Amino acid sequence: MKYLQALNSPIFEIISQAAQEIGVESYVIGGFVRDFILDRGSKKDIDIVAVGSGIELALKVSELLPKKPKVQVFKNYGTAMLRFEDTDIEFVGARKESYNFDSRKPLVENGSLEDDQNRRDFTINALAFSLNKENFGTLIDPFNGLRDLESGIIKTPLDPDITFSDDPLRMMRGIRFATQLKFEIEEKSLASIAKNAERINIISGERIVEELNKMLSSEKPSVGFLLLYKAGLLDLILPELTALNQVEEIEGHTHKNNFYHTLEVVDNICPNTNDVWLRWAALLHDIGKAPTKRFNKKQGWTFHGHEFLGGKMVKKIFERLHMPLNQKMKFVQKMVVMSSRPIVLAQDTVTDSAVRRLVFDAGEDVDDLMTLCEADITTKNPSKFKKYHANFDLVRKKIIEVEERDHVRQFQPPISGEQIMELFNLKPGREIGTLKEAVKEAILEGHIANEYEAALEFVTHKAFKMGLKKD
């Protein structure tokens, strides 16, 4: 079967010509082929296999292109890359691989196209289009990957135990593909992932997180996380999450399963944000509940302080998985720590001062916080669901009203420490901080407006009570 339409970009004819001139076979392989057949849109990266030197082919392609783009050569990996228009094209020589048990870095030797397809992770990624003159556009499919694409199946080309043990990251990739493509993992391959789960320990945190981010960026992340749980991988990667999968009953009192609730929250938030870090916040928002769970005869099950403990646990998770310890981590921490604040507001009478404090503490992230809290509504009772969302609508409206009037989202004191020192002829000291804090509290409580004249009158009165006099 020929797929000439897939190869209508001029770059493929140029690669074909370059390969013929240097006397090697060339093929497009992997994700580009898979996604074209699935009609998932054009990929911004293309993998080319040369039966010979991939580096030599890349250099020849660059020579034939009008602008002669720079070729990045990675000699240690035997690969090269160039950019054509807005697409990254990677060239590699066909190879066979063998592995040591304690590493996912293979021992590599030159091989045929068949050898190269044998080493691929899944049948749907072993598909190739020929770029050779005699059969240009022909699909090369030694493992019935086309059939698996049509059936929605993820399976390995060879023995899954060998495939996953050789490179354990393939277990994560398989689950990620199942999540993104809405495919099922073949029973034998899924059983092999569970059997080889401990092998994930040789994979770096960065590579694991890369796959987790792709799952979280999918339409329904719970699919992937349930597969990770079923296969035993989640307990090795995020034990804080699997610790939530327990329901206890004492004296007729039970609590909800916070693990399945968390996955619902993550799915709920997806239609409202593409921000992977807000999705991480949804995934981790309840992790403090397992260690803070207590039973009280009067109150039943409690999770006091779970948000604050959860915030501390976020940092440990980010450190363990080598995730960024910058503003992204601080954002996730902030969302976790504040995750119950709007819920409390929505249940009580919404006062201006409470909303001001929420906006002040959340700052620019208040809208994301509200999105998280609305996703946290997982009740199956239709009347409660409607009531909770209506309450959150009131809180959102109140936030807009308060913000328009009091401007506390990016709070700057209407009177500065320098102005206070000048007014009362003071040197830097405790009194300045006391007065500034008093002004802030007065604004948040609604006692004065967030403007200079009101703040000046207030601070003068407060200073007088402290025994300070204007200069």
Can you give the residue ranges of every domain in the chain? Answer: 4-151, 152-237, 417-465
User: What average pLDDT does the chain have?
Assistant: 89
Res 100: pLDDT:
61
Quickly state the pLDDT bin for 394 (edges 50, 70, 90).
Answer: confident
Average confidence (pLDDT) over 333-358: 82
What residues pair up with 178 in beta bridges, in sequence order? none
Contacts for 180-188: CB closer than 8 Å, 24+ residues apart: 180/214, 180/215, 180/218, 181/38, 181/152, 181/154, 182/152, 182/220, 182/223, 183/152, 183/153, 183/154, 184/152, 184/153, 184/154, 185/153, 185/154, 185/155, 185/227, 186/153, 186/154, 186/155, 188/155, 188/160
User: Given pLDDT bands bounded at 50, 70 and 90, which one contains residue 257?
Assistant: confident
Cα(226)–Cα(149) distance, integer angstroms:
22
pLDDT band at 101 (very low <50, low <70, confident <90, very high): low
Residue for token pair 């995750």: 339
pLDDT in tens, 119-136: 899 999 999 999 999 999
Mean pLDDT value of segment 241-259 = 74
CA 210 to chain centre: 8
pLDDT-derived band at 99 (thresholds 50, 70, 90) equals: low
Give the Cβ contact number of residue 357 at 10 Å: 17
Would you identify the CATH topology of the domain 152-237?
A: Hydrophobic Seed Protein (1.10.110)
Name the most confidently modeled range: 321-325, 414-418, 459-463. 321-325
Q: Give mean pLDDT, residues 142-160.
A: 96
Counts of helices then strands in the chain (DSSP H, E): 24, 15
C-beta of residue 314 within 8 angstroms of C-beta of residue 324: no
HSE-CB at 304 with a 13 A cutoff on CA atoms is 5
- Asked whether residue 108 carries a pLDDT value surpassing 80, the answer given is no
Question: Residues 28, 119, 169, 282: is their CA dihedral positive or negative?
Answer: positive
Residue with the larger pLDDT of the pair 267 and 405: 267
Asked if 227 and 185 count as a contact pair (C-beta separation under 8 A), the reply is yes
User: How confident is the model at residue 37, as a pLDDT?
Assistant: 95
Residues with Cβ < 8 Å from 386, sequence gap 6 or more?
Answer: none
Q: Reduced to 3 states, what is the DSSP secondary structure of residue 154? A: strand
Q: Which CATH superfamily is domain 4-151 in?
A: Beta Polymerase, domain 2 (3.30.460.10)
Sheet holding 87-93, edge to edge: 72-74, 79-84, 87-93, 45-51, 25-29, 128-130, 139-140
Please tell me the distance from the alpha carbon of residue 420 to that of residue 5, in angstroms, as a whole number.
73
Asked whether residue 11 carries a pLDDT value surpassing 80, the answer given is yes
User: pTM of the predicted model, to two decimals?
Assistant: 0.86
Beta bridge partners of 295: 301
Q: Is 303 or 199 the better-scoring residue by pLDDT?
A: 199
Task: Using alpha carbons, list the distances in angstroms from residue 457 to 251, 353, 438, 461, 464.
Answer: 58, 20, 12, 6, 11
Q: Which residues touch 253 (CB under 8 Å, ≥6 apart)?
A: 295, 300, 301
pLDDT of residue 104: 59
Q: Which of 41-45, 105-109, 394-398 has the lowest mean pLDDT?
A: 105-109
For strand 184-185 and strand 79-84, is the pairing parallel, antiparallel, or unpaired? unpaired
Token digits for 378?
Answer: 């997982």
Q: What is the pLDDT of residue 468?
A: 75
Write down the pLDDT at residue 105.
64
Comparison of pLDDT for 429 and 146, the residue scoring more:
146
Count Cα neighbours of 258 within 13 Å in the Cβ-side half-sphere. 25
pLDDT at 97: 62
CA distance 183 to 179: 7
Backbone angles phi, psi at 153, to 5 degrees: -120, 135
Looking at this protein, which amino acid is placed at residue 116?
Answer: D
* Helix 452-465 / helix 417-424 crossing angle, nearest 10 deg: 50
- What pLDDT is recorded for position 38? 94
**What is the share, in percent, of the chain residues with pLDDT greater than 90?**
61
Beta bridge partners of 407: none
